Structure 1
Amino acid sequence: MEIERKYLVNQVPADYMEFPCHAIEQAYLCTSPVVRIRKEDDSYYLTYKGKGLMAREEYNLPLNEQAYTHLLKKADGIILTKTRYLIPLEGSDHLTIELDIFDGTYKGLILAEVEFPTEEEALTFIPPQWFGKDVTFSGEYQNSRLACDLSR
């Protein structure tokens, strides 16, 4: 089960580049249900995500580079590229901010996600001051929806 909140970010923290990061490329084979392939650095995954905005089922299966390349040719829509910075949430011993800075089609888009162990913790979360608008429940900034926005 994935439980997360998502926010637009207008102003990143000055020190964000000091934190670990991953280069991510991902594409969608299906959006209902969500079936995604992802390259993260030198690792490859196939992911299934169930319905939902804040909480939903999520299953990750490993792929090799050959399988990823084959499936990438079958993907629909836009291939998303971004750099994900992993920033420990100040004042928490177990939460991490995933700061996604998009490249390519969505260059300039910056989103922050925080995953939670429980829905209660997600619903009572008070975001850092530098987070912008909460877009968790709109679904507008789900990556699967961004990949299908062919008007870009």
Structure 2
Amino acid sequence: MEIERKFLTKELPFDITAYPCKAITQAYLSFSPTIRIRRSNTDYILTVKGKGHLAREEFELPLSEEEYNRLSLKTEGTPVCKKRYLVPIEENLTAEVDIYEGELQGLMTTEVEFSSMEAAEKFVAPAWFGRDVSEEKAYKNTSFSLYGIPKEL
């Protein structure tokens, strides 16, 4: 079960390059159900996600680079490319700051994964996180792949 909250981040009060970074490209084999492939640095992963916003089932399977490349020929929508910075925050949590590239350049989000719904609901985000968009479909990566940056930005 994946339990996470997502925030629309406008600016950072620190130098993000001081933190570990992953170069991520993800593309979708299906949007319903959500089946995606992801390259994260030199790791390749197939992910199947259930329905939901704050909490949903998630299954991951490692892929070889060859399998990833073959599957990438069958994807739909536009690949989502981003740099993910891992920023430690309170209570041993990690803020995953995504700075999007390509057609999504100018977009930045911050996600935090939790061990329980209770922890997710009681979490008070630092002001720099920005607006909570966890329940907004337009801010899911599947929507970014299909429709680009939400018009309200």
* Shift in Å, 1:17: 1.1
Aligned to 1:113: 111
DSSP 3-state at the match of 1:140: helix
Instruction: Give yes or no for contact 1:4–1:54 (8 Å, CA) kept in 2.
Output: yes
Gaps of 5+ in 1: none
Runs of 4+ in 1 over 4 A off after TM superposition: none
Letter in 1 for 2:122: T
TM-score normalized by the length of structure 1: 0.95
DSSP 3-state at the match of 2:17: helix
Count of residue correspondences = 150
Percent identical pairs in the alignment equals: 46
**Offset from partner CA, 1:27-86 (integer Å, 9 cap, x none):** 001111110000000110000000000000011100011111111111000011000000
Instruction: Give yes or no for contact 1:48–1:58 (8 Å, CA) kept in 2.
Output: yes
Aligned to 1:129: 127
Between the aligned partners of 1:147 and 1:56, the Cα distance in structure 2 is 19
TM-score normalized by the length of structure 2: 0.94
Aligned to 1:53: 53
CA RMSD of aligned residues (A): 1.4
* Shift in Å, 1:15: 2.2
Instruction: Give yes or no for contact 1:77–1:150 (8 Å, CA) kept in 2.
Output: no
**Offset from partner CA, 1:110-143 (integer Å, 9 cap, x none):** 0000000000110111101101111001121110
In the TM superposition, what are the counterparts of 1:1-150 in structure 2 within 5 Å?
1-89=1-89, 91-92=90-91, 94-149=92-147
Between the aligned partners of 2:104 and 2:149, the Cα distance in structure 1 is 12
Where is the helix percentage greater, Structure 1 or Structure 2? 2
Between the aligned partners of 1:82 and 1:56, the Cα distance in structure 2 is 22
